[in-house]
């Protein structure tokens, strides 16, 4: 078979980076759940493992008790929201958030964390993050894009990210919401206490710096908790 | 607009990249994509929890019943469906019909299905999918076929099954074929992978990637004959990342309840108690066709190569 058979636009192994896991998890690593009702769960599990966390899937409310932090993955927010209600997970997750659980939401996860949507579609939200978010704010799939983005507090230059039918924050509703990055004045990375949300997908690029920052915040919250108990 | 915090500018955005094409399919994983023929069905599908809808003029069962040439849907109907729902909208183009694909891209559909369910427009060539910004999903019956579609630019694969039959046996055959062939690659050494590439008639780089990861390089859904929640859960246990349901929903007695049940069974595919619970009292499933009653010239899976 001649080499020219391979199209030039196909990059060999371009997906390997997002599929590799760390070889093993160190003792005392925090346990971080990935909500696994629908969406790109695998990519988040692998990214968390590469950052030194023990990553587990969460499909039932009783699995929530075991996690020190939670990731709400990319996916279809309408689908995930409905399944959260049907399987009795939405209110238990909100209760953990109100009690200080660190949560990282990407894309659909940002939508689910938002207190408000600016479209009246009546889809179920977990809430807790004081922002008003707009779904599909950049347009349809033909408007999806790759870019590099400076994020406040993340060292090492711009982060490699993908915006896929992405939302954005239209309005910040409280003063304690920090905007860590924005595009054309619209926030796309926000943090409020233990909650972190991005409009884009850091998990599909292999650039793990946001996951590393989240794992570090879960680890310090976890260590604080351990000290309090001791 | 809030001015708090930093407002860093993004570098120039790149659209239509391999990553955003394959990435959208990643976001659909664990979900159900439903065939719909009008805006009303699209709304029912969205309300039931579909991750996307496939807009087409007739569901495969009706294409079988009606006969004749099956083509891309009327753009007006696709527009109405795009307007009706907030989830991604897919639409079908005939195999090799690159102008139907151009039209679908111009309408703003989120994924094009180059589909054997429609009558092929080219008996030698599939669409050169690299030329498009819109991502493509293609059908495959085995690993070689899947990798050839990837080499042409497909960003997502679905096992073909046999559409419009309500019979899961062909979907099972194709899923088992693809996953077993990938498992076999994982046992081979570097030298043997060249022979495997020759055997599968696929690029060796793609063969190597399957061998290393134990998966296709893109998302693998299943399609063609899924009619019940148990069918969907079985395909997920066989290694599918998600499920297309065509005639199975709107050709059944109680579409909205069945659609919701299939969504729930796809999420909890490894929990028989959930599958049992959602399967209760769904009413009539679509009637279905036994494969031995389907003449060879009416089997769609043989279209494409």
Cβ contact B11–A148 (<8 Å) = yes
Instruction: Assess if residue A24 is contained within a domain.
Output: no
Using one digit for the tens of pLDDT, what is the confidence trace for B255-302?
999 999 999 999 999 999 999 999 999 988 777 888 888 888 888 888
Interface of A with B in 5-34 (CB under 8 A): 5-7, 9-16, 19
d(CA A124, CA A116): 10
Which among B111, B153, B267 has CB closest to A37?
Answer: B267
What is the number of domains present in chain A?
1
**B8 contacts A181? CB cut-off 8 A:** yes
pLDDT > 50? residue B5: no
Q: Max CA-CA distance within chain A?
A: 66
Mean pLDDT of B40-69: 92
- Say how far apart CA B269 and CA A68 lie, in whole Å: 26
- Asked, for residue A132, whether it belongs to a domain, the answer is yes
**In this model, does residue A2 exceed pLDDT 60?**
no
Single out the residue of A159, A163, A161, A194 nearest to residue A177, CA to CA. A194
**Whether A165 and B110 lie within 8 Å, measured CB to CB:** yes
Length of chain B, please? 305
What's the ipTM?
Answer: 0.91
Q: A residues 31-70 near B, CB within 8 Å? A: 36-43, 59
Render the burial of B238-277: b for 16+ CB within 10 Å, e for the rest: bbbbbbbbbbbbbbbeebebbbbbbbbbbbbbeeeebbee
Which chain A residue is nearest to residue B203, measuring alpha carbons? A6
* Nearest CB to A145 within list B5, B14, B212: B14
Annotated active-site residue in B21, B92, B129, B160: B92
Q: Give the range of the structural domain holding residue A41, as residue numbers without chain letter.
A: 2-19+29-229
What CATH code is carried by the domain that includes residue A165?
3.40.50.880
Most confident of A28-42, A114-128, A214-228: A28-42
What's the pLDDT score for residue B171? 96
Q: Angle, nearest 10°, between helix axes B229-237 and B272-279?
A: 160
Contact A69, B21 (CB under 8 A): no
Query: Does the distance separating the beta carbons of A39 and B108 come in below 8 Å?
Result: no
Cβ neighbours for B250, distance < 8 A, ≥ 6 positions apart: B35, B36, B37, B41, B59
For residue A192, what is the nearest residue in chain B, using CA coordinates?
A: B5
Q: Do B20 and A141 touch (CB under 8 A)?
A: yes
**Two structure tokens written together for A60:** 């039932």
Is the CB of A224 inside 8 Å of chain B's CB atoms? no
The pLDDT score that the predictor gives to residue B61 is: 86
Whether A80 maps to a domain, the answer reads yes
Q: Residue A213 domain-assigned?
A: yes
Cβ distance B39 to B84 under 8 Å? yes
């Amino acid at each position: 078979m001649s080499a020219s058979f391979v199209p030039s636009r196909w990059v060999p192994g371009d997906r390997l980076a997002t599929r590799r896991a760390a070889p093993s998890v160190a003792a005392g690593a925090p346990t971080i759940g990935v909500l696994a009702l629908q969406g790109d769960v695998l990519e988040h599990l692998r990214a968390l493992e590469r950052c030194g966390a023990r990553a587990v899937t969460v499909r039932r409310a009783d699995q929530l008790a075991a996690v020190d932090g939670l990731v709400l993955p990319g996916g279809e927010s309408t689908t995930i929201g409905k399944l959260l209600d049907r399987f009795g997970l939405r209110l238990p997750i909100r209760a953990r958030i109100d009690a200080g659980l660190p949560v990282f939401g990407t894309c659909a996860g940002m939508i689910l964390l938002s207190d408000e949507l600016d479209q009246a579609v009546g889809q179920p939200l977990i809430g807790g993050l004081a922002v008003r978010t707009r779904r599909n704010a950049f347009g349809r799939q033909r408007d999806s894009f790759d870019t590099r983005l400076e994020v406040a507090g993340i060292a090492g230059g711009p982060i490699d990210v993908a915006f896929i039918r992405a939302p954005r924050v239209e309005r910040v509703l409280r003063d304690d919401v920090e905007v860590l990055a924005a595009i054309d004045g619209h926030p796309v990375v926000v943090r409020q206490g233990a909650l972190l949300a991005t409009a884009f997908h850091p998990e599909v690029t292999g650039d793990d710096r946001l996951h590393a920052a989240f794992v570090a915040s879960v680890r310090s919250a976890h260590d604080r908790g351990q000290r309090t108990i001791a | 607009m809030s001015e708090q915090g930093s407002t860093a500018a993004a570098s120039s955005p790149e659209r239509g990249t391999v990553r955003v094409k394959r990435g959208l399919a990643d976001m659909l994983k664990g979900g159900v994509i439903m065939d719909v023929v009008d805006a009303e069905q699209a709304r029912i599908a969205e309300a039931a929890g579909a991750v996307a809808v496939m807009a087409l003029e007739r569901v495969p069962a009706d294409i079988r019943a009606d006969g004749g040439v099956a083509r891309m849907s009327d753009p007006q109907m696709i527009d109405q469906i795009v307007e009706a729902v907030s989830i991604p909208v897919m639409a079908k183009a005939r195999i090799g019909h690159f102008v139907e694909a151009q039209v679908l891209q111009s309408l703003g559909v989120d994924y094009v299905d180059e589909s054997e369910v429609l009558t092929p427009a080219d008996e030698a060539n599939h669409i050169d999918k690299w030329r498009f910004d819109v991502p493509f999903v293609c059908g495959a019956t085995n690993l070689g076929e899947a990798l050839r579609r990837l080499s042409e630019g497909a960003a997502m694969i679905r096992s073909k099954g046999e559409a419009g039959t309500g019979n899961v046996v062909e979907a099972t055959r194709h899923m088992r074929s693809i996953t077993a062939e990938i498992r076999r690659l994982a046992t081979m050494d570097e030298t043997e992978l060249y022979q495997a590439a020759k055997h599968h008639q696929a690029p060796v780089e793609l063969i190597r990637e399957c061998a290393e990861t134990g998966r296709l390089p893109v998302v693998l859904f299943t399609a063609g004959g899924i009619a019940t929640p148990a069918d969907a859960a079985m395909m997920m246990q066989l290694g599918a990342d998600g499920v297309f349901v065509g005639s199975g929903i709107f050709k059944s007695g109680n579409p909205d309840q069945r659609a919701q049940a299939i969504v729930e069974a796809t999420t909890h595919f490894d929990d028989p108690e959930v599958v049992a619970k959602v399967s209760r009292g769904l009413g009539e499933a679509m009637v279905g066709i036994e494969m031995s009653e389907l003449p060879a010239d009416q089997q769609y899976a043989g279209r494409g190569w």
